[in-house]
Amino acid sequence: MILILEYFYWQFIEVPQKIIKVFKNLLWFGVNFFSIDYCLKTLFSPWKKIIWNYKKEFNFGSRIETFFSNCFSRIIGFFVRTFILLFWIIFEVFLLVTLIITLLLWILFPFIAILGIIFSFNLL
């Protein structure tokens, strides 16, 4: 009797917990691999720190030029990082879907096997 209870615990609690833990690691991997925290923190930072300094003497044209150049560097940085964030979201969604499918398959595994065996007799 204890053995059967232990089996139910293992099949429906212990292993699903382990599967969730593995997926948690993979989710963490996504955050780490795509440097999400870093990308969010520096979302609008200039690309590769490329910026132009404003000249000391006042010149309206030159100021505007420097301003737009620096904005352009930031826009490039923003786009590349957004691109990475997009990849990350796709990766994480894919992971979540896989997790749900894996969990369902695992939990239903014994039932599928038993139903399959019953079904096989109908083929005779």
Partner 1 sequence: MFDLKKSKINRGVGVKILLVSTRVLKIIFLLVFILSIFYLFQGLFTDILSIEDYLNFNLFLVVFSFFSFLLFLNISTFFKKYIQKAKIINGNFENDDINLADFLTVESASRIRKAIRFARRKKVEVNSSILLYFILNQKNIKINFILNRVLINRKELISKLKETMLTTKDVYEGTGLTYSLDDIILESAKATIRRKGDYIKTNDIFSALSKIEPHLKEELRRRKLKKEDIDNLNFWQENLFKKISNGKRWWDRENLSKMGSVGRDWASGFTPTLDHYSLDLTEMVRRSGFIEIIGHEKEINQAERVLIRDRENNVLLVGDNGVGRLSMVRSITQRAYLNKSFPELNGKRFVELNMSSILTKASSTDEIEIILDQCFREASYASNIILVLSDFDNYINDKGVAGSTDISSLIAPYLRVNEFKFIAVTSYKGLHKYIEFKPQILSLFQKIDVLESSKNETILLLEREIPYIEYKYNIFITYLSILKIIELSEKYIQDNPFPKKAIMLLNDIAVYVNGLKEKVMLESHVEKVISEKTEIPIGNITSDERNTLLNLEGLIHEKIVNQVEAVNEVSSALRRSRSQIKTKTGPMGTFLFLGPTGVGKTETAKALAEVYFGSESKMVRFDMSEFQTDNDIKRFIGDEEDIGLLATKVVENPFSLILFDEIEKSHPNILNLLLQILDEGFMTNSIGKKVNFQNTIIIATSNAGYQIILDAIKESKTMDLIKQEILDYVFVKGIFRPELINRFDATVIFKALSKENLFKIADLRFKKLQQNLLRKQILLEVSDKVKMEIVELSYNPQFGAREMRRVIQDKVENALAKSFLSGEINEGDTISIGEGFVINVLKKNYEE
Q: Which residue among 35, 66, 69, 102 contacts partner 1 (CB under 8 A)?
A: 35
Q: Which residue among 28, 68, 79, 94 contacts partner 1 (CB under 8 A)?
A: 28
Residue 41: C-alpha distances to residues 10, 35, 107 (Å): 42, 10, 40
Q: Is 96 in the site for partner 1 (CB under 8 A)?
A: no
Q: Which residue among 6, 67, 93, 108 contacts partner 1 (CB under 8 A)?
A: 6
| Minimum separation from the CB atom of position 93 to partner 1 (A) | 19
- The contacts of residue 103 (CB under 8 Å, 6+ apart) are 16, 19, 20
**Closest C-alpha to 48, from 13, 84, 76, 28:** 76
| φ, ψ for residue 44, nearest 5 deg | -105, 15
| Minimum separation from the CB atom of position 120 to partner 1 (A) | 4
Q: Is 91 in the site for partner 1 (CB under 8 A)?
A: no
Each residue 66-85 as x (binds partner 1 by CB under 8 A) or -, in order, gives -----------x--xx--x-
| Minimum separation from the CB atom of position 104 to partner 1 (A) | 15
Q: Is 49 in the site for partner 1 (CB under 8 A)?
A: yes
* CA 21/CA 44 separation, integer angstroms: 34
Q: Which two tokens stand for residue 27?
A: 């989710």
